[in-house]
């Protein structure tokens, strides 16, 4: 299969390496000329996963339209807030039968749209040509070939089954799903809970607090996801609980690190500076708008929103959560 990976950050680089291992003809599009030169000359991405030697079969280019030309599958690994512009720019090269696989996790702030909606509105892409890849997958471990599992969701069962076969390997197992909405929202919303988990660590609140936060956080994101049309079982699976556990506890989690540093008192501007994007920062506000719009109460999400906006300090947010009105555990 001819595959183009759009976006040469850590996750895009790792997925490109994985696709080569699966036996595909893979092109990687990079915005930065330094990345194109570094891979072509030294087989290394100078900015992301720079210690990983990239396979000889991986081609890289800075020409977006040419990169997607002839591709049977285009894997979009662009931060969600920049995806609409990139998708619009690549449209002239996208084949009429090419599948678009989103591996980005977030909600577009300006529109409140998920990536399937962004693809439809920016490309006119039919839902049957869209799939989303999500799950507990750190880029570095996938690039190293360590065992991992994720979910591939789409509304077309045949497309999902074909992509499952093409992108599964002895090291990376893909499960199929028809719940695009649930998989996308699970992947986006767990990043917000991961910021809160990092705050717990940065504040030194202990393991009890972290366990309670993960449990109630999963309850929250399930409530919103189901209200928006997702299936409850999706949030109990790899895209939901699996990714939540990894992102909230793993040392490689960018969103968790954001929370840790905020909990230690660092200003948000310093925390988010740097080349790698923590999607949870922008997703928090967009998710809060969605939740209020459909009348879903999400206390953890709302206090993270206040912390990021500078309305509450982390310690004030903890006090607000712990002193909420008492209720039954299963109450909506």
Catalytic residue set: 190
CB 175 within 8 A of CB 149: yes
Q: Which of 279, 286, 175 is nearest to 224 (CA)?
A: 286
- Whether 247 contacts 257, CB under 8 Å: no
Give the Cβ contact number of residue 305 at 10 Å: 21
The pair of structure tokens assigned to 324 is 């909420």
Distance of CA 264 to the CA centre of its chain: 25
Distance of CA 195 to CAs 58, 148, 164, Å? 34, 23, 31
Residue 81, Ramachandran bin (φ over 0: left; ψ between -120 and 50: alpha; else beta): alpha
Helix/strand/coil for 6: strand
Residue 208 is encoded by which pair of tokens? Answer: 């009890």
Q: How far apart are CA 194 and CA 187, in angstroms?
A: 11
């Amino acid at each position: 299969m001819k595959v183009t990976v759009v976006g040469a950050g850590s996750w895009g680089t790792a997925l490109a390496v994985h696709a080569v291992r699966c036996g595909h003809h893979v092109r990687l599009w990079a915005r930065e000329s330094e990345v194109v030169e570094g891979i072509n000359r030294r087989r290394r991405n100078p900015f992301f996963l720079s210690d990983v030697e990239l396979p000889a079969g991986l081609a890289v280019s800075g020409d977006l339209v040419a990169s997607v030309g002839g591709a049977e599958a285009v894997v979009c690994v662009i931060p969600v807030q920049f995806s609409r512009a990139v998708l619009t720019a690549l449209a002239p090269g996208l084949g009429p039968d090419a599948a678009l696989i989103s591996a980005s996790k977030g909600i577009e702030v300006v529109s409140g749209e998920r990536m399937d909606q962004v693809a439809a509105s920016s490309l006119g892409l039919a839902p049957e040509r869209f799939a989303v890849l999500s799950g507990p997958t750190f880029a570095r471990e996938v690039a190293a070939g360590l065992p991992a599992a994720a979910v591939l969701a789409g509304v077309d069962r045949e497309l999902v089954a074909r992509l499952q076969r093409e992108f599964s390997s002895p090291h990376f197992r893909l499960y199929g799903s028809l719940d695009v909405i649930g998989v996308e929202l699970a992947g986006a919303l767990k990043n917000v809970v991961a910021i809160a988990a990092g705050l717990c660590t940065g504040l030194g609140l202990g393991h009890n607090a972290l366990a309670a936060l993960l449990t109630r956080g999963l309850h929250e994101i399930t409530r919103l996801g189901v209200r928006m049309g997702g299936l409850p079982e999706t949030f109990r699976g790899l895209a939901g609980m699996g990714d939540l556990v990894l992102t909230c506890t793993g040392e490689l989690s960018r969103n968790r690190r954001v929370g840790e540093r905020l909990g230690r008192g660092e200003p948000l501007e310093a925390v988010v500076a740097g080349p790698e994007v923590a999607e949870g920062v922008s997703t928090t506000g967009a998710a809060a708008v969605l939740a209020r719009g459909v009348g879903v109460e999400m206390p953890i999400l709302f206090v993270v929103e206040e912390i990021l906006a500078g309305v509450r300090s982390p310690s004030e947010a903890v006090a607000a959560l712990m002193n909420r009105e008492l209720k039954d555990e299963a109450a909506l």
